[in-house]
Structure 1
Amino acid sequence: MQLKTHGRYDYSAITKRPVYDWPGGKRLAVYIGLNLEHFAFGEGLGAELAPGGPQPDVLNYAWRDYGNRVGAWRLLEMFDALDMPVSVLTNSVMYDYAPALMDAHRARGDEIVGHGRTNSERQSVLSEAEEAALIAEATDVLTRAEGVAPRGWLSPWIAESPVTPDLLKAAGYDYTLNWAMDDQPVWMRTAHGPLLSIPYPQEANDIPSIVGRKDGADAFAQIVQENFDEMRAQSVAQPLVMGIALHPYLVGQPFRLRALRRVLQHICAHRDEIWLTRAGDIFDFCQTCDAIPRPE
């Protein structure tokens, strides 16, 4: 029986691959993927704290908006105190809605990653032309605001059409965070050349944990810490990437922030052993690393 396949990459066992080191001889790369998102009022998609009923869903809209007004600023204070770099996964509408927040991330040198226009929509339901226009619009906003084009992309809701990787590569993107199939970067095939898939977590991620599984603050923090400690041990044998996916309206809540701060302090206590970095820096390394095979 021949199953339908995506054709983007081939099967490869992680224990059978070439071994290499990250910069400084490190074996575990760790990055923060901070999602800055804004939502339409009274329509479209959005995570729910509780069933909100008919639109306008003020309960859930205001809950999510807390992240941009309060939670994101508390997280910034924490990242500054811990001296942690951040990859900021940004809806392009954030530049109109909360320009001061985007200015603050630019001032600290954070990487800006494309994250669609808004998380009120999915790009996977669009025609190819409409999806290409969405990517172009979001990219143009980020490029004009930052003075440099974003190199990485995470689709809102991790939603892809069959041609999304092709469209991203054609639009000038170097890497995608959409595919959570590995603990190492993997070069993917597209119609326009290779696109790097950098691991982005779906377990050490506050949306599936807190919204999906209803994990408490301590439970999510424990997931991140256990994941880090285990991957640090595993990385003795193979170089690995650990992403930590965060949303300010979730982990920016005071009681969750306390638990998150404890685990990030634990991670930073090992900063001499790990590569605390950004997703774009991982791409830069992989671009010149011959040990990471490119697709034929």
Structure 2
Amino acid sequence: MDKYSGGGLPDHGRYTYSPIRGRPAWDWPGGKRLAVYIGLNLEHFAFGEGMGAELSAAGPQPDVLNYAWRDYGNRVGAWRLLDLFDKLGYSASVLVNGSLYGYCPELVAAFRDRGDEIVGHGWTNAARQGTLEEAAEAALIAKSTAEIARREGKAPAGWLGPWISESRVTPDLLHEQGYRYVLDWCMDDQPVWLKTRTGRILSVPYPQELNDIPSIVGRKDTAADFADMIVDQFDEMLEQAAEGPLVMGIALHAYLVGQPYRLRHLRRALAHIAARRDDIWLTTSGAIADHCYDLPEGTIV
């Protein structure tokens, strides 16, 4: 799929350049122009090896401190977020490591029972997929997909790679295994069609700025900072959406924003958005993809 761009540099060949200005104007359901969704990451990590976000500098393995900190999300944080979503009337796109079903199946079941969307998120966040040979990567995608399909009664439509890790052929493999959309690419505020070797797959915007890991772990933003970012992003994008449809994703990890002092600030930000629910489409990434697939050819550029 790689090729050279017009500037003579290596290029991915998945999409061509299109400025946000001058694109066709179209609507989300109900005539809305701003679609808002929550991407909640539920992740499982290997003990004593592999990757993982860190609260403090990792010590020798087994790194009990950081492993236990991350596991707080599955034992406590995600359940607090579930209560928050119930209270405010949010659906969620729940990004699930396949190995989670063997560890805490009741957690995934609690979100399933709410009617939330289950999105593929690899097998574990202790490893990247983009470093694998093609056959091994295809097998990993198939393994995670099969486990979700077995547990949920249907295969997921969307995929987010652990650590946003892709190889040169990841979109090709996802399309070949029946995926309709991918969340790895953050280059736009509208969905974008990606070319694959067997057709096309939709890129639904997933945020790396409005994401608690880069914000809180990477930039060391406070809980109040992150909540303010959500409010400011929403207010600004709601104004910008008068010109055309936009997608605002909010990327959350249960072991971060499920901490009580962060949860309090997150509640403030999500309540701010919920108060404007009549002006926006509160939805899921899968519903966004479904709407885009139903649009006339050429609507999305």
Give yes or no for TM over 0.5.
yes
Deviation at residue 293 of structure 1 after TM alignment:
4.5
Q: Give the Å deviation of 1:52.
A: 2.2
Query: Which residue does the alignment assign to 1:288?
Result: 294
Give the one of 32, 35, 45 matched to 2:38: 32
AA of the residue aligned to 2:46: A
Flag structure 1 segments of 5+ consecutive residues without an equivalent. Answer: none
Structure 2 letter corresponding to 1:250: L
Are 1:259 and 2:256 counterparts? no
Q: Which residue is 2:82 aligned to?
A: 76
CA contact (8 A) 2:191 2:300 kept: no
Change (3 A) 1:183 1:116: same
Letter in 1 for 2:16: D
Correspondence 1:45 to 2:38: no
- Structure 2 residue 144 is the aligned partner of structure 1 residue 138: yes
How far 1:6 moved relative to its partner?
A: 0.3
Contact map agreement 2:230 2:269 (CA 8 A) in 1: yes
- Equivalent position amino acid for 2:35 in 1: A
Provide the C-alpha distance between the structure 1 equivalents of 2:64 and 2:143, rounded to a whole number of angstroms. Answer: 28
- Residue 20 (structure 1) aligns with: 26
Report SS of the residue matched to 1:14: coil
SS in 1 for 2:123: coil
Q: Give the equivalent residue in structure 1 for 2:282.
A: 276
How far did 1:135 drift?
0.1
1: CA distance between counterparts of 2:70 and 2:257? 11
**Equivalent-residue separation in structure 1 for 2:241 and 2:24 (angstroms):** 13
Letter in 2 for 1:111: E
The within-5 A match list for 1:53-202 is 53-202=59-208
Instruction: Name which of structure 1's ranges 286-295 and 164-173 shifts more when overlaid on structure 2.
Output: 286-295
Q: Deviations over 1:265-289 (max 9, x none)?
A: 0000000000000011001100011
Q: List per-residue Cα deviations over 1:221-254 (Å, max 9, x = no partner).
A: 1111101100000000011000000000000000
User: Match of 2:166, as an amino acid?
Assistant: E
How far apart are 1:67 and its partner, in Å? 0.4
Distance 1:164 1:92 in 2: 17
**Residue identity opposite 1:211 in structure 2:** V
Cross-structure match for 2:220:
214
CA contact 1:286–1:292 (8 Å) conserved in 2? no
Q: Is the 8 A contact 1:15 1:238 kept in 2?
A: no
User: Any idea what the Cα deviations from partners look like across 1:157-195, whole Å, max 9, x if unmatched?
Assistant: 000000000000001000000000000000110011110
TM-score (normalised: structure 1): 0.98
Cα contact 1:19–1:291 (8 A) shared by 2: no
Change in CA separation of 1:233 and 1:242 when aligned onto 2, cut-off 3 Å: same
Output the amino acid matched with 2:20: I
8 Å CA contact 1:186, 1:292 repeated in 2: no
Report whether the alignment pairs 1:247 with 2:260: no
Amino acid at match of 2:275: A
What is the total number of aligned residue pairs between the two structures?
A: 295
Cα distance in 2 for partners of 1:88, 1:229 equals 24
4+ runs of 1 displaced by more than 3 Å? 291-295
RMSD: 1.0
Contact 1:18–1:291, Cα closer than 8 Å, also in 2: no
Identical pairs, percent: 65
What letter matches 2:42 in structure 1? Answer: L
